[in-house]
Amino acid sequence: MEHLLRELAPQVLGAVIRRFHDFSSAEDAVQEALLAAALQWPREGVPDNPRGWLIQVAARRMTDYLRSEEARRRREFEVAIESGQMATAADSAPETDRDDTLTLVFMCCHPALTPSSAIALTLRAVGGLTTAEIANAFLVPEATMAQRISRAKASIKASGVPFQMPSSREQDERLRTVLHVLYLIFSEGYASSIGPQLQRVELAREAIRLTRGVHALLPQHGEVAGLLALMLLTDARRAARTGPDGELVPLPKQDRALWDQAEIAEGIALLTAALAKGSIGAYQLQAAIAAVHDEAARAEDTDWPQILALYDLLKRTSDNPMVMLNHAIAAAMVHGPSKGLELLGALDSDARLAGHHRLDAVRAHLLEMAGDREAALAHYRIAAGRTTSLPEQNYLLTQAARLSEGAASPDVK
Amino acid sequence: MKYILMMTGTKAQFNWYASWPKEDLQAQFEFMHAFNKELKDSGVLVATEGLAFPDQARIVRAGRDGEPLTDGVFPESKEFLAGYWIIEAGSPEQAYKIAARASAAPGPGGQPSNMPIEVRPVMSAPPPEML
Amino acid sequence: MKYILLMTGTKAGVDTCRAWSPSDVQAHFKFLMRLNKELSESGELVANEPLAAPDEARVVRAGKDGTPVTDGVFPESKEFLLGYWMVDVESPERAYQIAARLSAGPGPGGVPTNMPIEVRQMMSRKTDEPA
């Protein structure tokens, strides 16, 4: 039943917001309806139309609230603002459940919001996580997270964005933001999955769940499928990322028996279907790269020329300097370390990478491949001093220590 | 009563740490992991955090129009905060005992590092004269 | 991105603050309370701890049998941590901006103290983004 309530919550919230135009109060009303359901349904049984039941209860709460003088005045004001905009949206799509949820997702990822606000709001309104759960996931106090969410809602209200789907012209742009927010949630969850689980909620799983939702609403969209595939193909390796003492295990050293084959299979299937539709976007390309890695039975079986070709394509659609770093690694694996180092040289002037530990970490790795132990050691130490990730720092210091012992390294392939 | 236990180091000391042999690094990670877990499980640990290496450290003051003036140049002798524990202890002596254990974390060659840990009480409320 | 903003002072500096008039002390305190409220409302404040005066500071090492060896004598020039603010912000520039605000807190006669605030990034227990 909890699963049912979580699934219905965003639909109910969407419907109530659409009807009453008051995000904050709608949230409270829906929470009360969900609570009522959690108390009554176990006793009386789940109603035939659970969604309708929830909307009715929430709507009643809203009406009670709106009857108050102050609220009525505010509502009249908001309706006056919105009726001007709503009038121009006469040709918008019929308001079905799916559109309400999708509209809600689009609204939570409004470009006026900072990424962290959009993330918090999406997890709250669409994911149905409590403020405490979100705070816990991001290691900030609950009060801080509550403020972030309040301010995000206030920003949306102040921006006057009506509760409707953006025009089809804006949709592509907005969808890009939505996918970016979902990717950030996944990254946060994936990065936090090392070491002991501090939080009950797994953000990576939540990101996958939300992306599945968007994929179900927009099955034709190649990049949505691509993002979902990328998440699954990356998440599949999660169990192998951590060593027995909680240390970071890089991809070439991972025990592939621990990879989740079901997730890999699902990711590949999604990707294949998306690519067949003809479009190729950055998420689909990244998913394809992840798929090539995941398909290799052993690290030495990795089809590096294929990965390099994919990075060559990805470079054209993506400006991300991390992509350039990974491209350099792939080039080194295919053409030798000097090729990779040459490409890194071109990145030295990229301001976005200046002082970034990954540039030094990749350089160290390639220098070691090239046999320059002294320089590799130096760059591992520089990278260790620059990273803000404790597991990464431990890993980089350990690499430096390994090299300073002078043993010929069996680690570098 | 809350106490803060602070680990500091000069830039040279940070670099020295970064040059430790593998086994010594490993021993230190394991010690800290176990130490923190024990403090957490016994309900003593309030918070523990590490600070990034001092290369990116900045001193900031307010410029004329309130704009931040940043400076990244420090004397060689400057002690930078490397990390801290905030613990709940019934007495200063109890806090010192815990600090002594942190100080005994293994260093190079597996010997206790015997690093100095500064211990200070944390204010839980504004001092009376401020109210 | 999590940063820690460190407010420090020497013993002499702290003694000077002790000589402020009560109204100057109140003004500074009120300033900090207002800033904290603002940072709470913006969702950026993660933690703020004021520390007790340096009189109670001790440095602890592990003695030969592990018992704490404490020392309360410090050089005149030692910078003591007086308090810290941990913030979660979108960029280093925002962290410097907040530090500049702290630095501009009122001192005697309402004149900004212009005290130096050290800004450091926090280490996280997370790895980098997936490659």
Domain limits at B18?
2-123
> Is the CB of residue A59 less than 8 Å from the CB of residue A22?
no
Neighbours of C109 (CB within 10 A): 10
- Counting every residue written for chain C, the total comes to 131
Predicted confidence band at A87 (pLDDT cuts at 50, 70, 90)? very low
Output the pLDDT for position A351: 87
Output the pLDDT for position A75: 60
Q: Do B33 and A246 touch (CB under 8 A)?
A: yes
C4 interaction partners in chain B (CB closer than 8 Å): 49, 51, 81
- Higher per-residue confidence, A2 vs C114: C114
Mean pLDDT over all residues of chain A? 85
pLDDT per position as a tens digit, A173-202: 889 999 999 999 999 888 876 655 544 458
Output the pLDDT for position A89: 36
Q: A200: which strand partners?
A: none
Is residue C126 one of the residues assigned to a domain?
no
Helix-helix angle A357-369:A337-347, to 10 degrees: 160
Q: Do A405 and B55 touch (CB under 8 A)?
A: no
Q: Do A392 and C127 touch (CB under 8 A)?
A: yes
Is residue B9 one of the residues assigned to a domain?
yes
- Token look-up 């009857």 returns A67
- Counting every residue written for chain B, the total comes to 131
Select from B16, B26, B48, B49 the residue whose CB has the most chain A CBs within 10 Å, as the one to mutate to test that interface.
B26
Give the separation between CA A166 and CA A173, rounded to whole angstroms. Answer: 10
A122 Cβ neighbours under 8 A, 6+ residues apart = A105, A108, A109, A181, A182, A185, A210
Burial of A212 (0-12, 13-18, 19+ CB in 10 A): middle
Max CA separation in chain A (angstroms): 79
Is residue C57 one of the residues assigned to a domain?
yes
> Is the CB of residue A49 less than 8 Å from the CB of residue A126?
no
Output the pLDDT for position B24: 93
Provide, rounded to the nearest whole percent, the portion of chain A with pLDDT above 90. Answer: 47
pLDDT above 80: residue B129: no
Output the pLDDT for position A71: 60
* Å between B100 CA and nearest CA of chain A: 24
pLDDT per position as a tens digit, C14-66: 999 889 999 999 999 999 999 999 998 898 999 999 998 898 899 999 988 87
Q: Do B25 and A246 touch (CB under 8 A)?
A: no
> Is the CB of residue A195 less than 8 Å from the CB of residue A247?
no
Give the separation between CA B60 and CA C42, rounded to whole angstroms. Answer: 21
Is residue B61 one of the residues assigned to a domain?
yes
CATH at B70 = 3.30.70.1060
Considering only CB atoms, C123 lies closest to which of A114, A188, A388, namely A388
Predicted confidence band at B128 (pLDDT cuts at 50, 70, 90)? very low
CATH at C65 = 3.30.70.1060
Predicted confidence band at C86 (pLDDT cuts at 50, 70, 90)? very high
Is residue C102 one of the residues assigned to a domain?
yes
> The dihedral of CA C117, B92, B97, B45: what is its sign?
negative
Output the pLDDT for position A385: 93
pLDDT per position as a tens digit, A25-74: 888 889 889 989 988 898 889 999 999 999 999 998 888 777 665 566 55
As given in the structure block, the two tokens for residue B54 are 């001092």
Predicted confidence band at A172 (pLDDT cuts at 50, 70, 90)? confident
Output the pLDDT for position B130: 39
> Is the CB of residue A308 less than 8 Å from the CB of residue A331?
yes
Q: Which residue from A minimizes the CA distance to C47?
A: A141
Q: Which residue from A minimizes the CA distance to B17?
A: A397
The number of folded domains in chain B is: 1
Is residue C61 one of the residues assigned to a domain?
yes
Output the pLDDT for position A65: 75
pLDDT above 50: residue A245: yes
- 3 state DSSP class of A290: helix
Q: What phi-psi label fits residue A246: left (phi over 0), alpha (psi between -120 and 50 degrees) or beta?
A: left
Considering only CB atoms, C81 lies closest to which of B6, B59, B100, namely B6
DSSP string, A89-115: GTTSPP--HHHHHHHHHHHHT-TTS-H
Domain limits at C104?
2-121
> Is the CB of residue A120 less than 8 Å from the CB of residue A145?
yes
Q: Residue C51's closest CA among B79, B51, B84, B114? A: B84
Is residue C69 one of the residues assigned to a domain?
yes
The number of folded domains in chain C is: 1
Q: Torsions phi, psi of B46, nearest 5?
A: -95, -45
Output the pLDDT for position A76: 58
> Is the CB of residue C114 less than 8 Å from the CB of residue B69?
no
- B partners (3+ CB pairs within 8 A) are A, C
Is residue C130 one of the residues assigned to a domain?
no
Give the separation between CA B124 and CA B1, rounded to whole angstroms. Answer: 8
Interface pTM, i.e. ipTM: 0.91
C68 interfaces chain B, CB cutoff of 8 Å: yes
- Token look-up 């046999």 returns A371
Q: List the beta strands (DSSP E) in chain C.
A: 2-9, 45-50, 58-62, 68-71, 80-88, 117-121
Is residue B130 one of the residues assigned to a domain?
no
Is residue B73 one of the residues assigned to a domain?
yes
Q: Do B129 and C25 touch (CB under 8 A)?
A: yes
Q: Which residue from A minimizes the CA distance to B49?
A: A390
Output the pLDDT for position C130: 65
Output the pLDDT for position A125: 86
Q: Do A390 and B55 touch (CB under 8 A)?
A: no
pTM for this predicted structure: 0.80
> Is the CB of residue B48 less than 8 Å from the CB of residue B3?
no
> Is the CB of residue B62 less than 8 Å from the CB of residue C103?
yes
Give the separation between CA A205 and CA A231, rounded to whole angstroms. Answer: 9
Q: Which residue from B minimizes the CA distance to A391?
A: B29
Is residue B131 one of the residues assigned to a domain?
no
